[in-house]
């Protein structure tokens, strides 16, 4: 691994790590470097998540550390969902629904509800995300179709049950 990546790993600057990860992916760098960057991002993201939970705080998306930590947890939830770990993904979405700013609550609950019903990620992306509104700067899939709103309304009981279960933990 080159010095730039080694220094970034030592700095523990999650924003810098994401920038290097994106660069490494564009340049098709060796898998070892990409994996090291991604693992460090996840480690820092979950450390920040644990800190927020223990302090009873929410992510402040105006703070770059919080923004990129939330992104790391969210992307990990999507990765679990894509790997059909519906339970793990659902739990992450539920936690995020508590810790994200209000405008992201509904998209997080949608992810949790869809995982509870074991609906594949591909179907979610095709039918429930308004792709025309998603751009390269979007870290979170927050632009939903009318069908997504219908799903939330129809499955409100299930989502409330899952939230209550999470609150007990």
Which tens digit of pLDDT belongs to each residue from 100-139?
A: 999 999 999 999 999 999 999 999 999 999 988 887 777 8
Residues 45 and 14: beta-carbon distance below 8 Å: yes
d(CA 113, CA 91): 10
The two structure tokens encoding residue 24: 């490494």
Nearest by Cα to 18 from 68, 61, 65, 63 = 68
Residue 63 has pLDDT above 70, yes or no: yes
Residue tagged 């098709």 (tokens): 28
Residue 98 has pLDDT above 70, yes or no: yes
d(CA 73, CA 96): 8
Phi, psi of 100 (to 5 degrees): -90, 160
Phi, psi of 144 (to 5 degrees): -110, 155
The two structure tokens encoding residue 68: 């990129």
pLDDT given at position 169: 61
pLDDT given at position 138: 79
The two structure tokens encoding residue 33: 């470097």
| Residue 1 pLDDT grade (very low, low, confident, very high; cuts 50, 70, 90) | low
pTM: 0.92
pLDDT given at position 168: 73
pLDDT given at position 99: 96
Contacts of 61 (CB under 8 A, 6+ apart): 67, 70, 100, 101
Average pLDDT over residues 70-90: 97
The two structure tokens encoding residue 17: 């790590």
**DSSP letter for each residue of 41-87:** HHHHHHHHHHHHHHHT----TTSHHHHHHHHHHHHHHHHHHHTT-HH
CB atoms closer than 10 angstroms to residue 164 = 9
Tell me the average pLDDT of the chain: 92
């Amino acid at each position: 691994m080159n010095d730039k990546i080694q220094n970034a790993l030592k700095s523990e600057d999650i924003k810098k790590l994401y920038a290097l990860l994106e660069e490494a992916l564009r340049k098709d760098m060796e898998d070892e470097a990409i994996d090291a960057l991604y693992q460090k991002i996840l480690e820092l993201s979950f450390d920040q998540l644990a800190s927020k939970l223990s302090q009873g705080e929410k992510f402040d998306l105006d703070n770059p550390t919080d923004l990129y930590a939330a992104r790391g947890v969210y992307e990990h939830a999507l990765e679990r969902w894509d790997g059909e770990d519906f339970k793990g993904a659902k739990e992450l979405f539920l936690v995020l629904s508590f810790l994200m700013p209000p405008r992201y609550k509904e998209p997080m609950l949608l992810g949790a509800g869809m995982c509870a019903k074991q609906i594949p990620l591909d179907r979610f992306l095709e039918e429930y995300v308004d792709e025309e509104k998603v751009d390269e700067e979007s870290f979170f899939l927050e632009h939903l179709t009318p069908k997504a709103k219908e799903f939330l309304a129809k499955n409100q009981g299930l989502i409330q049950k899952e939230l209550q279960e999470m609150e007990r933990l």
